Amino acid sequence: MEELYHGSSQIIRKPTFGKGNPENDYGLGFYCTHEPELAMEWACATDNDGFANGYQFETEGLTCLHLNAEGYHILNWLAILLENRRFDLSSHVSVRARQYILDTFLPDYRDYDLMVGYRADDSYFSFSRAFLTNGITLEQLRRAMRGEQVVLRSPAAFDALSFVKAIPVDASIYHVRRLSRDRGAREDYKKMLTEMPTGNEIYVSTIINEKWSNDDPRL
C-alpha cells in the first residue's frame, strides 16, 4: 500500500479512466507523486488556490514499469517523452535525433498498469530539447533530471486508488514556490550551457554516429 498525491484546482475523489491530456509525459493517465509538497505546487499552476488530493494505492497485482530502476536508462525515458509530448524540432540534428531515439530506445510500455519515472516539468523540458539539438551532453541531461512521478494508466490501477483526503492549498505560498523552482531550473540550464568542455563529452550526435544500442554499457 502506498500514499499518492495529485495536485488539482478541485477535489477529485474518483479519477475517471480515459480522461485527461494524452500529450502528458507518459501519455493519457492519472499523474501523481509521493511528495505532498510537490502536489501542492501542482495544485497552484495558476495563482489560484487548489487541493492536494491524497489517496491510498494498492499495488499488489499491478504491473509497473519503473524507469529509474536497474535495466533502464535516461534515453528510455526520453523516448517515451518524445512519443507523447510535443517538441518544437526545427534543426536537422534534432529531427534525426528524435527518430533515432524512438527507433532504438523506446521500451514497450503501453500495457503496464502504472509507470514511475522522472517528471518533465516545463522548466526541465528545456534540458530535453537542448540535448536533442546538441546543446547539452548526455551527462548534463542525467544531472538535470530529478524527482519522480507515478502515472496510473489502466482501469485496474484506477480501481486500486482510494481517496483519503483533500488538503487545501494556499496559492499565495505554493504558486510562489512553483515559480521559484521554475526559476531555479532555468538558472541551472543557463549555467549548464556555459560549462567548459572536457573533451570527453557525449552528445546526441555521438550516440547516432556511433550507433549506440539500447544495451550499450556506456548507458
Domain ranges of the chain: 2-209
Asked whether the beta carbons of 36 and 30 are under 8 A apart, the reply is no
Instruction: Give the tens place of pLDDT for each residue, 168-201.
Output: 999 999 888 888 888 888 888 788 778 877 878 8
Q: Which residue has the higher pLDDT, 103 or 175?
A: 103
120 has pLDDT over 70:
no
Instruction: Give the tens place of pLDDT for each residue, 25-36.
Output: 899 999 999 999
Instruction: Give the tens place of pLDDT for each residue, 37-85.
Output: 999 998 988 888 999 999 999 999 999 999 999 999 999 999 999 999 8
Cell of 208: 547516432
pTM (two decimals): 0.90
